[in-house]
Amino acid sequence: MKRRGYEILEHPADLGISARGESLQEAFEEAAKGLTAIILDPATIRPQTALPVSITASDREQLLVRWLSEVLYLFDGKRFPCAEFTIHELGPTWLVATVRGEDLDASRHHTRLDVKAVTYHQLDIQEFAGQSRVRVFLDI
Amino acid sequence: MFTRIDRYRHLIPKSYKAGMLIDGLVFADEHLLPQIEADQTKEQVANVATLPGLVGRSLAMPDAHQGYGFCIGGVAAADLDEGVVSAGGVGFDINCGVRLLSVPAAAGDVADRIEPLIHQLFRDIPCGTGRKGALSLGGRELDGVLCDGAEWAISRGYGTEDDLTRIEEHGRLGSADAAAVSNRAKERGHVQLGTLGSGNHFLEIQRVDEVYDERVAGVFGLRQGQLMILIHSGSRGLGHQVCTDYLDVMHDGMKRYRMSVVDRQLACVPVGSPEGERYLKAMAAAANFAFANRQMMTHWTREAVQRVLGIDGVRVVYDICHNIAKREAHAVGGRRTTLLVHRKGATRAFPPGHPELPADLKDVGQPVLIPGSMGTSSYVLVGTELAMQETFGSCCHGAGRAMSRTQAKRETSADALMRDMKGMGIHVRCGSRAGLTEEKPDAYKDVSRVVDVVHNAGLARKVARLVPLAVMKG
C-alpha cells in the first residue's frame, strides 16, 4: 500500500473518506483529494490558479471538518473546483494551505454527485510518527 | 433488545442505555424491524433520548435508517423551556420535501406524450449537480426569497396565490431572518434557486393507479388514472451550509451551557438560547428557500405541460417538509402546550379539524405524500388523530435506504438499470449515470410495506397509490 492515498468508504446512505499520509498534513491533503474525486473527475481540473486558505477551529476534529468544508464551499459557492492541495502549516487548531484549481467550466467539469456537507459522524484522526490517518463521512 | 408493544410498535426502554431520559419507540413490522436493527438506527434513537427536555418518546418511523446523530426517519419533540434544539435533528437538507401536482388529464389519453414531456421538463428545470439555475439572484433579492419563501416566487410570477393554501405553512415560515444566514450559505444558494439537485432528489410523472378512499381522494383532487407530477427537492447548498455553520455554533455553545452529547452530530443548545433562536431563524430562512425552489419548479412544470400537452390547470395537491423543526401545539398529559418538533426524514401528518389546515382540507385531514424509490409506487395518505397523540402529528417520509451507494453501484450498471426501467415502461432522463445506479429501486426498502405499517398502526390512512411513467434525476 502506498504511504499516502485515500479510499472511499461505505455508509448506509452516504459516503466516507479514509485518507492516510506520512504526516497529518498529507492525510488532510489526501482527504481533500478524496472529496474532490467524489464530486467530479479530478483529471478534468487544471490546477492553474492558486488560492491561499487559512482556517482556525476550536479543536482538531473541527479543523478537519472546516478544511474539507472549505474545499466544498470553493466548489459549490465559488464554483472553483480544486485539484491540488498543499498544507504549509498544520497546528492543533489552525492550518495554512494553498489550493490549486480553476473556474468551473460546465463543458469539461461533469459533476458526479452533490456533496451536501462534511459530518462529525465517526470522525477519526490518528497521528503517529511516519503514518497518520483520518476518517470522515459526507452527507450526500 | 426491543420490547414489543404490538405488531407495529417496538419500545426501546430507558434502561437500554445509560443517560436515556425518555423511552424510544420504533414503528416497524416483522420484515422492517430486522432491517432497522442491521445498522445504527436503534443506537441513534437511544442517543436522541439522552438529549435534555424532550417530551414523549424518541421516535423512529418504519422507513428509518442510520443517519448522522439522529437517524433518518426520526421525530423528537422538545419542551420550549427545558428542551433543546439540534441542527442535526433537522439535518443538512433543510426543508427537503415533496410537492405533488395534479394534471387535469387522464394519463391514458396522453400516453404517447409522456416521453416528450419528460424531455421538456429535463430541458426546463435545471437538475444536475453544480449547475447554475435559470436565474442568479442579487443579495437583496435573495433576502426576499429567504424571508418570503413561496410567496416571493409567486410575487415574481411563478405560480398563483391559490398554490399557497396547499403548502405546509403556506410556503413561508414567518420566523425567518436572512441576517442569521451566513454569506457563505448565501453564496452557495444564490445560483441554485430553481434547481432540482442530485442524490435522491427527482421529478416523476405518475398515474393514479389505485384509489383506496374515494371521498378523501376527491377532496385532494385525485382520480383513478389521473396524470400527476411529483417533485422531490430541498434547500440546496444554502440549507446545507446553514446546518454546517450552526453545528459549530451549537458545539461551541454547549460549552457555555455546560452540556455534553454522546455524538457530536447531536450538538444542541437550549431552545430559547440566543444560539437556538438564531439557528431557528436561519433554518426558517433555508426552509423558505426550499419552498421558493419547489414553487419555481412548479411554474416551469406548468409551462412544460402546456407546451407539450396543451393543458392548463395544473394544481398543487400538497407540499410537505421532510427535514424541519417547528413550534407546534400538542397535548401532553392532557394539557395543551407548545413544543419544538424536530422531524428528520419524517413528515407532518395533521388530522381532520386541525387549525393549521386550509378550509377545504379541514374535514378530511392533511395529505401525506410518501414517494417510493425510482420505479416503484408512491402513496398519498391522510393524517389521523392517533398520530397527534402518538407521534406529534408525524409520519414516515419515503421508502428509506436499505443499501449503500457503493453497493448499489457495484451490483448494477447504469445501462442495465435504464434497460430495466424501459422494460417497465418508465422513461428515464438523468444528469449523472453514476448517481442513477445509486438510486436504483432495490437500494431502498419496500415502500408498500413501509406505508402498510403506518396505515395499520393508524398513523395515517391510505388514500391513493401512484405509479411512475417517467423519471428525471439530477
Per residue in B15-71, pLDDT (tens digit) is: 999 999 999 999 999 999 999 999 999 999 999 999 999 999 999 999 999 999 999
End-to-end CA distance of chain B: 40
| CB-CB neighbors (< 8 A) of B136 in chain A | none
Answer yes or no: pTM beyond 0.90. Answer: yes
Task: For residue B47, give how far its alpha carbon lies from the nearest alpha carbon of chain A (Å).
Answer: 13
pLDDT of residue B336: 94
What's the mean pLDDT in B144-159? 97
Tell whether the model's pLDDT for residue B297 goes beyond 60.
yes
Residue B133, pLDDT score: 60
The type of residue at A32 is: A
Q: Which residues of A touch B198 (CB under 8 A)?
A: 111, 113-114
Give the CA-trace dihedral at B150, A111, B137, A118, to 10 degrees: 70
Q: ∠ at Cα B468 (B463, B473), nearest 5°?
A: 120
Domains of chain B: 3-473 (3.90.1860.10)
Reported ipTM: the value is: 0.90
pLDDT at B405: 76
pLDDT for B427-457, tens place per residue? 998 877 767 777 777 777 789 999 999 999 9
Q: Would you say residue B402 has pLDDT above 80?
A: no
Are B241 and A119 in contact (CB < 8 Å)?
no
Average pLDDT over residues B230-250: 95
Would you state the pLDDT for residue A111? Answer: 85
C-alpha cell recorded at residue B474: 439530477
Say whether A77 and B407 touch across the interface (CB within 8 A).
no
CB-based contacts of A58, cutoff 8 Å, min separation 6: A93, B248, B251, B252
* Whole-number pLDDT of residue B138: 72
Minimum CA–CA partner of A59 in chain B? B252
Q: Could you give phi then psi for residue B247, rounded to 5 degrees?
A: -60, -40
Measured distance CA(B230)–CA(B101) in Å, rounded: 6
User: What whole-number distance in Å separates Cα of residue B86 and Cα of residue B279?
Assistant: 9
Q: Which residues of A touch B238 (CB under 8 A)?
A: none
**What local confidence, expressed as pLDDT, does residue A110 receive?**
87
Q: With an 8 Å Cβ cutoff, is B411 touching chain A?
A: no
For residue B3, the cross-strand partners are B11
Confidence of residue B129 (pLDDT cuts 50, 70, 90): low
The pLDDT assigned to B149 comes to 98
Contact status of B43 with chain A (Cβ, < 8 Å): no
Q: Which residues fall within 8 angstroms of residue A134, CB to CB, at 6 or more apart?
A: A17, A18, A19, A20, A24, A27, A28, A31, A64, A123, A124, A125, A126
Q: Chain A contacts of B127, Cβ < 8 Å?
A: none
| pLDDT, mean of residues B268-276 | 97
Instruction: Please identify among residues 84-103 of chain B the ones whose CB lies closer than 8 Å to any CB of chain A.
Output: 91-93
* Residues of B identified as active-site: 397
pLDDT in tens, A27-76: 999 999 999 999 999 999 999 999 999 999 999 999 999 999 999 999 99
* Residue A127 C-alpha, separation from nearest chain B C-alpha, in angstroms: 21
CATH architecture of A5-139: 3-Layer(bab) Sandwich (3.55)
- B 420-439: CB under 8 A from A: 431-432, 434-435, 438
The mean per-residue pLDDT over the stretch B261-278 comes to 96
Determine, for residues B69 and A121 on separate chains, whether the beta-carbon distance falls below 8 Å: yes
To probe the interface with B, which of A17, A62, A116 has the most B CB atoms within 10 Å? Answer: A116
> What's the average model confidence in pLDDT over B386-396?
97
Among the partner-chain residues A12, A114, A123, the one whose CB lies closest to the CB of B197 is A114
Reported confidence tier of residue B409, pLDDT bands at 50, 70, 90: confident
Cα torsion through B405, B407, B412, B418, rounded to 10? -20
Q: Does the beta-carbon distance from B240 to A117 stay under 8 Å?
A: yes
Mean pLDDT of the residues in chain B: 93
